[in-house]
Amino acid sequence: MDIILVVNAGSSSLKFEVLSVEGDLSKLLKGQMEGVGTAPRLCIKGIGGEILADHQHSPSEVPDLPAAMRLVGDWLRERHDGRLVAVGHRVVHGGPDNERAVLINEKVFADLERYVPLAPLHQPNNLAPIRAILRQRPDLPQVACFDTSFHRCHSAVADHYAIPERFYAEGVRRYGFHGLSYEYVASRLSELAPEIAGGRVLVAHLGSGASMCALLAGRSVESTFGFTALDGLPMSTRCGQIDPGVILYLLDQKGMRPDEVQDLLYKASGLKGLSGVGSDVRALLESPKSSAAFALEHFVHRIGLNAGMLAAALGGMDAFVFTAGIGENSPEMRKRIAVKLEWLGAKLDLERNARGDVLISTPDSQLRIYVVPTDEELMIARHTLATIGT
């Protein structure tokens, strides 16, 4: 059996899925190596949820992502008899030129390293497994699938900042991220709700990273993300939209170093910074502290504001879609956000919302509200298969 391995590497975790390419793509197993470098644990499950492996490792065994990749590769070779034909990787930043997935070679890899400063939390970790496989299996096709590609169809007006044109030519522009998620949701809407899939749809990817994307006939026309994955909505630990003057103030008046500012905005802000409690929405909902409630109120407030902005970009809105961890799993947060959409004609059906139905608005709601689970890994597998031409 020919198989594809899909890899999604984070700062301290390595998520992966194995899919069969015999006939239609079908998932065989999925797993995660979490706690890389601190308390590594490998957990692998079959497609039915059965546990295939659950092993704790020492930090010396799995000190970094390449080591995690080697251990996962060893397990797959020992326990799985499929023939690995390619590896597909999620890569957050593809820069201005990558409008689609690409086959990786040394030149492509070097080009992608240039975007590390634009996605310091993600890009180095996305590239680490690629480099490890290039060294160990240079013959094995690897495909980079970009979170920015889906947004490369934006108009120049949408992508420009109001700074001299030479910076745009150098690549300083609004990119947008979470593109693999939005692309998958757009494809699912054509199946789940064909009556609105060709219309004006706002998708909210609400997870540890959070953003919204305006879709017109299934294509991205505007996004809350910009040059980096800091812009737009407040996130678990990232600040979201912030006045550039605040950055200048921190550098000039507070004497902070650029790396200190970077750590503040990427790792100590957002829900974590506002609440002083943590970044997990479930914990914040349960916390008795007023700062936790305020952090969630701020999160919902900013989503409402950005919904208005994106509705303006679309010239109106036919549907609103929740996806990703918070959007898919938190009826309470969906309810709070729906209140902010009432001026757009939204009416939430509380029973449907509590059940997590696909359609959670009332029959007379002018704005339809949906919950559509995302599947970035399947999207990566599709792009990988198309890129290698199998």
Catalytic positions: 147
- DSSP labels for 195-256? HHHTSEEEEEEESSSEEEEEEETTEEEEES--SSTTSSS--SS---S--HHHHHHHHHTS--
Strand partners, 89: 7, 144
Q: Residues 358, 373: contact at Cβ < 8 Å? A: no
How far, in Å, CA of 91 to CA of 103, rounded?
Answer: 12
Residue 163 has what DSSP assignment?
Answer: S
Helices (H), 57-122: 65-79, 106-113
Three-class SS state of 6: strand
129: exposed, middle or buried (C-beta count within 10 Å: 0-12, 13-18, 19+)? buried
- Which residues, in sequence order, are bridge partners of residue 320? 202, 369
**DSSP reduced 3-state for 169:** helix
Q: Which of 50, 65, 62, 64 is nearest to 16 (CA)?
A: 65
Encoding tokens for residue 260? 């200190």
**Residues 375 and 6 sit within 8 Å (Cβ to Cβ):** no
Q: ∠311-315-320 over CA atoms, to 5°?
A: 40
Q: Is 314 exposed, middle or buried (0-12, 13-18, 19+ CB in 10 A)?
A: middle
Residue 219 and residue 198: Cα distance in Å, rounded?
9
- CB neighbours (10 Å) of residue 51? 9
